[in-house]
């Protein structure tokens, strides 16, 4: 793990960073309209705006009744985050796997805190070229995806120092139990 950042620091810094960064609400009916009415950079490659997402990834579940939405995206997500944090503290991960779990939990906690305080997650970035575009997302979503990728790479044996793929002698990055 990077010597300049400790796991607990990242777990608390990333969620805190997402609080209080909400511009005035603007609605979006399509990705094209999203980019035409938002700040655009690099010939519409990056569009920055404001969307409140009451659902999950790509707004899946946004149409659920409010009680079901709260149960899934606030209640169940909170339980999963606490469980992941407990598992992370029990198991001795190192390197990419450890940093990946910390990023994943921090990003999830950031979105969870937004849901608890606002009832939705603030998404503001959209990337793409022409009609090929991503969904609207936020920095916490980037932390979740990067964390998941780093965890998988770490479990497959990728090392910060070597950058090489796993070998039969070192298939995972978990420290053996003592």
Residues labelled as active-site residues: 123, 141
- Please say whether the beta carbons of 98 and 1 come within 8 A: yes
Cβ atoms of 140 and 14 within 8 Å: the answer is yes
132-133 β-sheet, strand order: 39-41, 46-53, 121-129, 132-133
Nearest to 49 by CA among 63, 64, 31: 31
| Count of alpha carbons within 13 angstroms of residue 84, beta-carbon side | 23
Half-sphere exposure of 104 (CA within 13 A, CB side): 22
Q: Rounded CA gap, 22 and 38, in Å? A: 14
Pairing of strands 46-53, 121-129: antiparallel
């Amino acid at each position: 793990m990077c010597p300049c950042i400790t796991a607990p620091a990242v777990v608390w810094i990333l969620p805190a960073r997402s609080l209080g960064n909400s511009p005035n609400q603007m609605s979006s009916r399509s990705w094209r309209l999203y980019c035409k009415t938002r700040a655009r950079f690099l010939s519409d490659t990056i569009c920055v705006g404001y969307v409140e997402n009451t659902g999950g990834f790509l707004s899946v579940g946004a149409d659920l009744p409010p009680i079901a939405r709260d149960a899934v995206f606030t209640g169940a997500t909170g339980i999963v985050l606490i469980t992941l944090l407990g598992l992370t503290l029990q198991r001795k991960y190192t390197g990419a796997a450890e940093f990946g779990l910390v990023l994943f939990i921090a990003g999830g906690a950031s979105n969870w805190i937004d849901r608890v305080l606002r009832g939705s997650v603030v998404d503001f970035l959209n990337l793409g070229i022409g009609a090929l575009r991503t969904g609207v997302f936020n920095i916490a979503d980037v932390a979740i995806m990067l964390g998941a990728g780093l965890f998988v790479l770490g479990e497959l044996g990728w090392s910060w120092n070597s950058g090489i793929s796993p070998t039969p002698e070192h298939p995972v990055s978990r420290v053996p139990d003592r």
